[in-house]
Structure 1
Amino acid sequence: MTLYYSTILSTNCKHFFGYAVWASISYRWIWKLPGPQKFRLFIWLCDNSSGRGEMSPIRFLTVLWTVWTTRNPSVINWVKMNTDGAAKGNPGLSSFGGVIRNSIGGWELGFMGKISYASNLVAELWAIREGLQIAWEFGYRHLIVESDSTVALQLLTSQDTNFHPADTLVRDCKALICRQWAIKLQHVFREANQVADGLANLISSNANSLYVLTNPPSRIKDALLADVRGTLFQRM
């Protein structure tokens, strides 16, 4: 059986002139809110549920959260990717790692791999490139990319890197960034990049390997939990 909005409104009004109140000036603000009709109806029902035109604190907070998430969907849909690269000897045997987390810091996926021989900068750029490719393939379209390598981020925002030794990697990253999605590049201090650093140093397989992780390894769970809690680390 289909219930129309008018039926729901008349059923849930707690006073005789329900329709008059619904059409009155005092409720026009509800029907002008952005979002689908069911969202506005939900707020109206909350406002009328007590029969006094007042909402309980819990209902009021629920309404505020609904309004905020409706008017700010991009904030909720963004995910953050932290990347890191390391070279033993610089240059030397290199590895990289990264993690993608949702808006509340929860694990989405991670990745880690090895490069046969590279510098720290190449490892950092390699991590960003692989992370961008993985994020695209998994369907993320609003991505904040954080790296503790200032040089890598400067290269990715530079207009001309033709004569830089890492130009090929930089071009690969820029090509991925220019796809149809929203990307933000941000610098993060090493102390706040512990999860990606842990993944970069965790891998012990053969060279030129890449692993995508749907669950966090046990050895980096403490760092992951510290990030969620917002634990502060002293800079060395």
Structure 2
Amino acid sequence: MAAFASAPQQSKPLVLGCGAVSVDYLATVASFPNPDDKIRSLALKVEGGGNAGNALTGAARLGLSPRIISKASNDALGKSILKELQDDGVDTSYMTIADGGNSPFTYIIVDSQTKTRTCIHTPGYPPMKPEELTKENLFAALHGVEMVYFDVRLHETALLVAEEASQRKIPILVDAEKKREGLDDLLNFASYVVCSANFPQAWTGASSTPVALVHMLLRLPNLKFVIVTRGEKGCLMLERSMTDASETEETDVEDLLESLEQKVDLSSSMAKCVASKSNLRISADGVGSMSGRLLMGTAEAIPSEELIDTTGAGDAFIGAVLYGLCTGMPVEKMLPFAAQVRRQIVKGVKVQTPEKTALTIKVLATNFLRSTIPKGPIRKNDYMWRKPGYGIMKINVDTSFQYETLSGACGAVARDYRGDFITAASWFVLNISGVDSAELTAIRNGIYLATHIGCNNIEIESDCSFAVDSLNQVDDYLGPEVAIIIEYKQLMMDFASISFRHCYREANQVADKLAKNSFTTRSSSSWDDEIPDFISHLLVNDMSII
């Protein structure tokens, strides 16, 4: 069967973040201006930003329950920051809100030619002071938390949180983007570190990144692993072993990296992880040696025409790492998973709402988690929902009908060639003569939905073979529903192309759920932007390939 048995409801893992929030103004320009130039922007976006805000938003969309410690002012920007975080499921009750001053904001110039960005940040005022975080709020914020994350902003407050989290033996992840005040103190508490490409060498003074990673694990004895992100090259992870391998023959870390690079399948464009043997004795000249293993995560190559910009990509990667750690995902799975989440940020896939972004990320998570289940259920291709061809809008329709009352309901959902949700609607209908009429009515309403959103090329899919066969033989139909069929013939003339296809019920669950919900509530509804909660898991199932 296509449908997976639903797992028992479990509480979402709690994660606490401490760091920056802001409003970002992203102006895309043809090329970065020269001094004294006056140019026009090609596009402007205003959205929530800040490393901690972005990372925790990503974690929330993946399925964690994040809390944030930060500060904003009671101005228009501050209210916007709070609302956006809250709408995405981030608990802001531990944030400090100043009565005066200004909330932080950043101007970001995105060069569409070089795909680079230039950030001009205005800090919030007044800055956060450690005494603004009371012990009562600190203890409450840490209660039940499985992971604490720092972006090394608000470092004095962050240090208070880190000290208390360490006493409670709560794992700590630090985002080491660059050398900042207070970073060294926080690194001493870190269980995990994710850093930018240049940070390891800048912090250690080592001759290369692999050598710098060995240096970091030797210098920071509490550290379980360090990940360095390398943009289009993917990432490297050096993981400490739980058992000592001091008696094992040493392996030079640079030679080890070279051997991993030779194992990469260059014919595959998918993000993957290549790992060394476990519990090696890994050495670096002039630094020392440690017991562990080296892992290399590849990244999908993104054509330049599909690249938007890298703003928030690192934060999305960290959000995925938080998710992986809190859900017990093996690091071999976590690295390519995080690369796929990062890909959604930098690749030119237009996602208009947080709900659609969350849906895309949940599909990735579902594929990864299902792939880890030994002997899990196998779905047959014929029973899976399929994307339409390029430029075609697929509309799935279904009906719910009750003979006793001769009433029913119809549901329809429209998705494009990428599988992205476009719109959905449901209709409660009285006085239907029978089930065949109800199924044909559902298709008619699906056609009306296509007209509503301005589609010219559509594919209507129904699990009722009678309705599909009748419309595919519209000129020959002589049955009792002939009046409806004639009406459809007229409606079909409004489209450049229209086709009707039969599908199995397992591939039509979203439309089925829309119809059943409408019949139960005896109401009609439409959703042009927001995805209704009661079908989101079914949309994820349709887009999952495993």
TM range (shorter): 0.5 to 0.7
Letter in 1 for 2:534: R
**Is 1:62 paired with 2:303?**
yes
1:197 aligned partner = 512
Counterpart Cα distance in 1 of 2:300 and 2:421: 30
2:402 aligned partner = 88
Which of these residues, 115, 121, 142, is aligned with residue 436 of structure 2? 121
Residues 75/87 of structure 1: CA separation in 2 closer, same or farther (3 Å cut): closer
Farther-moved stretch of structure 1 (100-109 vs 153-162): 153-162
Residues 205/171 of structure 1: CA separation in 2 closer, same or farther (3 Å cut): farther
Residues 80/165 of structure 1: CA separation in 2 closer, same or farther (3 Å cut): same
**Is 1:161 paired with 2:402?**
no
1:144 aligned partner = 459
| 1:161 positional shift | 2.6
CA contact (8 A) 1:112 1:212 kept: yes
Between the two proteins, the alignment pairs up a number of residues equal to 168
Letter in 1 for 2:431: Y
Counterpart Cα distance in 2 of 1:59 and 1:228: 19
Larger RCO (CA under 8 A, 6+ residues apart): 1
| 1:99 positional shift | 0.2
Counterpart Cα distance in 2 of 1:61 and 1:148: 37
CA contact (8 A) 2:457 2:495 kept: no
Deviations 1:42-93 (A, max 9, x none): 9xxxxxxxxxxxxxx9998627989xxxxxxx94321110000121137722
**Is 1:170 paired with 2:485?**
yes
CA contact (8 A) 2:395 2:415 kept: yes
Counterpart Cα distance in 2 of 1:63 and 1:94: 50
**Is 1:130 paired with 2:445?**
yes
Counterpart Cα distance in 1 of 2:405 and 2:492: 27
CA contact (8 A) 1:104 1:228 kept: no
TM-score (norm 1): 0.62
Deviations 1:184-228 (A, max 9, x none): 21111011100000000011455xx64322122111111111011
**Is 1:186 paired with 2:501?**
yes
Identical pairs, percent:
25
Counterpart Cα distance in 1 of 2:467 and 2:511: 16
| 1:172 positional shift | 1.7
Counterpart Cα distance in 2 of 1:222 and 1:90: 31
Counterpart Cα distance in 2 of 1:198 and 1:59: 35
| 1:116 positional shift | 1.0
Counterpart Cα distance in 2 of 1:60 and 1:192: 31
Which of these residues, 402, 406, 422, is aligned with residue 108 of structure 1? 422
Residues 210/160 of structure 1: CA separation in 2 closer, same or farther (3 Å cut): farther
1:228 aligned partner = 543
Gaps of 5+ in 1: 1-41, 43-56, 67-73, 232-236
Letter in 2 for 1:110: A
What is the SS of the residue equivalent to 1:117? coil
CA contact (8 A) 2:399 2:410 kept: yes
Residues 90/223 of structure 1: CA separation in 2 closer, same or farther (3 Å cut): farther
Gaps of 5+ in 2: 1-112, 114-268, 270-298, 308-387
Letter in 2 for 1:62: P
| 1:114 positional shift | 1.5
CA contact (8 A) 1:91 1:120 kept: no
* CA RMSD, Structure 1 to Structure 2 (Å): 3.1
Counterpart Cα distance in 2 of 1:124 and 1:108: 22
CA contact (8 A) 1:86 1:96 kept: yes
| 1:179 positional shift | 2.0
Counterpart Cα distance in 2 of 1:127 and 1:222: 22
CA contact (8 A) 1:90 1:120 kept: no
Letter in 1 for 2:505: R
Residues 218/61 of structure 1: CA separation in 2 closer, same or farther (3 Å cut): closer
Deviations 1:135-161 (A, max 9, x none): 123211111111101000111122233
Of Structure 1 and Structure 2, the greater helix share is in 1
Counterpart Cα distance in 2 of 1:116 and 1:212: 18
Counterpart Cα distance in 1 of 2:494 and 2:461: 18
Counterpart Cα distance in 2 of 1:59 and 1:221: 27
Residues 194/180 of structure 1: CA separation in 2 closer, same or farther (3 Å cut): closer
Residues 127/59 of structure 1: CA separation in 2 closer, same or farther (3 Å cut): closer
TM-score (norm 2): 0.28
| 1:132 positional shift | 0.5
What is the SS of the residue equivalent to 1:155? helix
Structure number with larger C-alpha Rg? 2
| 1:128 positional shift | 0.8
What is the SS of the residue equivalent to 1:201? helix
CA contact (8 A) 1:79 1:142 kept: yes
Letter in 2 for 1:161: Y
Counterpart Cα distance in 2 of 1:83 and 1:197: 7
2:100 aligned partner = none
